[in-house]
Amino acid sequence: MNVPPLVRVLLWPFSLLYSAGARARAWLYERGYFAQKRLRGKVISVGNLTVGGTGKTPMVMWLAEKLVAEGKRVAILSRGYRGSGGTSDEIEVMKRRLGDRVAFGVGKDRFAEGQRLEARGAAEFFLLDDGFQHLQLARDVDIVMLDGTRKLENEWLLPSGRLREPVAACRRADFLVVTRKNEPPEIAAGSSPKSAIFYAQTQLLGFRRLGGDEVLQNLAAIAPGPFFAFCGVGNPQAFFDDLQRWHVPLAGQQSFRDHHRYSLRDVEELTREALRAGAIALVTTEKDAVNLLDGQELELPVYIAVIDLAISAEGEFHAALARKLAAAGGASV
C-alpha cells in the first residue's frame, strides 16, 4: 500500500480518527463493555497489524496440519475477504492443500459459522483466519504475524498508512511470529511485554504446472529458465525475493493489486512482457493461480510455487502453544 506523501498528509486527520476508534473499541472489549461470544471449542486466532501479506495463510495451514496430524477435528473460520459464494482465493488455496481433513466456515459472522460446525460435530479446534481485529469472537490464543522487513515504529494508520491498529495493540498478542527476518521486530519498547517471539520463513516445496497434475517438481526438473514472475499479493516484493532466495532465474517481474483477478488482456500482456524479456515460462503464487481465468489458452507455461512455513525453534513454539491452551482450560496440542 504505497500512498503518495501529499495524500498521506491530507489523510492524516482521518488516521487520527481511525486510531481513536480502534483504541476505544479494543478498550471497550477489554473492559467487558462489549461482550465477546465464545464457542465451545478452542479458538486460535491468526492475524496481523497491517494490511498486506505477512504470512497469515501459510501460518493457518501450518497449524491445521499439526492439529490434524494429532487427531484433532479442526475448522477454519474466515470472512472470505474479496470472495463470493462462500469462498475466496485464500480459502481455495487452503482447501486445495488441506482437502476434506478440515472443515470451513466462511462468512462475516464467524461465531454463527462456528456454531454451525459445532452442531455437526465437525470441530473441536477453530483457527480464526485474520482474527486479531475480530474481537467479537473470544479466543484462547492470539498469534500476530509481523513482516520483519517492514518497520512499524513510524508507520501511519489507515487510511494514510498500512496499520490497522496502533503498534501498542501487540500487547494483546500471546505470540508474535516474525516472518522473513530473524531479528526482533522494530516496534516500540513495551508494546509486547507478554508476547513470546518466534521467527518463520517460507520454504519452497516445489512447483506444479498450471493445468497439470498435482505432482510437485523441483526447479531442475521443470525448466532451465529464465522465468517471468508475477503476483497480486499483499507483499509482492517478498515473493520476488523468495524466488531469488530459492535461486529461480528471473528475466523480469510484475506485480498487481492484492487479490487481483486476471483478465484475458492481463494474461496476454504478461505473455508479451515475458517473451520480450526472454523468459521461457511464467511463475506465480498459489493464490494467483486461483485468480487466473479458467480455460485461458496460455502461450507460455505457468508454474506455481507451492510453499510451506518453517518456524525456527518449532519444538519451543509447539510447547508454548500447548501451555497457553492448557492455561486457558484447553486440550493440549
The predicted structure's pLDDT at residue 39: 97
Residue-level pLDDT at 181: 80
- Mean pLDDT, contiguous 10-residue spans, the chain (333 residues): 78 93 96 96 96 91 97 96 80 95 96 97 96 97 92 87 93 94 65 80 95 90 94 93 96 96 93 97 96 77 95 95 84 46
Element (H, E) at 196: strand 196-209
Please answer whether residues 14 and 100 qualify as being in contact, where contact means their C-beta atoms are separated by less than 8 angstroms. Answer: no
Instruction: Decide if 332 is inside a domain.
Output: no
pLDDT of 208 = 95
pLDDT at residue number 85: 74
Query: How much is the pLDDT for 316?
Result: 96
> Domain tally for the chain?
2
Residues 127 and 183 in one domain: yes
76 is a domain residue: yes
Q: Would you say residue 38 lies in a domain?
A: yes
Asked if residue 333 is part of any domain, the answer here is no
Based on the fold, state whether residues 127 and 231 are members of the same structural domain. Answer: no
Q: Are residues 135 and 247 in the same domain?
A: no
Contact status, residue 83 vs residue 116, Cβ threshold 8 Å: no
Q: Is 143 inside a domain boundary?
A: yes
Specify whether 221 is located in the same domain as 92.
Answer: no
Residue with cell 461470544: 37
Q: How far apart are CA 142 and CA 48, in angstroms?
A: 10
CA angle 68, 102, 327 (to 5 degrees): 55
Residue 92 lies in a domain: yes
* Whether residues 93 and 130 fall in one domain: yes
Name the nearest CA neighbour of 44 among 28, 61, 23, 27. Answer: 61
291 located within any domain? yes
- CA dist 320 and 44 (Å) reads 13
CATH number, domain at 95?
A: 3.40.50
DSSP structure class, residue 260: P
Q: Is the same domain home to 55 and 138?
A: yes
The predicted pLDDT at position 310 comes to 95
Give the per-residue pLDDT at 62. 97
The answer to whether position 125 is within a domain reads yes
Query: Distance from CA of residue 134 to its chain's centroid?
Result: 15
Regarding whether 251 and 106 lie in a shared domain, the answer is: no
Do 133 and 249 belong together in one domain?
Answer: no
Say which residues have a Cβ less than 8 Å from residue 117's Cβ, sequence separation at least 6: 75, 103, 105, 123, 126
Judgement on whether residues 140 and 274 belong to the same structural domain of the protein: no
Cα→Cα distances 30→14, 71, 164, Å = 24, 33, 18
Instruction: Report how far residue 317's alpha carbon sits from residue 177's, in angstroms, rounded to the nearest whole number.
Output: 10
User: What's the chain's Rg over C-alpha atoms?
Assistant: 20
Residues 108 and 249 in one domain: no
**Left, alpha or beta for 190 (phi > 0: left; psi -120 to 50: alpha)?**
left
In three-state secondary structure terms, 130 is coil
Host domain of residue 246: 202-309
Residues 137 and 268 in one domain: no
Residue at 98: amino acid letter: L
Both 129 and 75 in one domain: the answer is yes
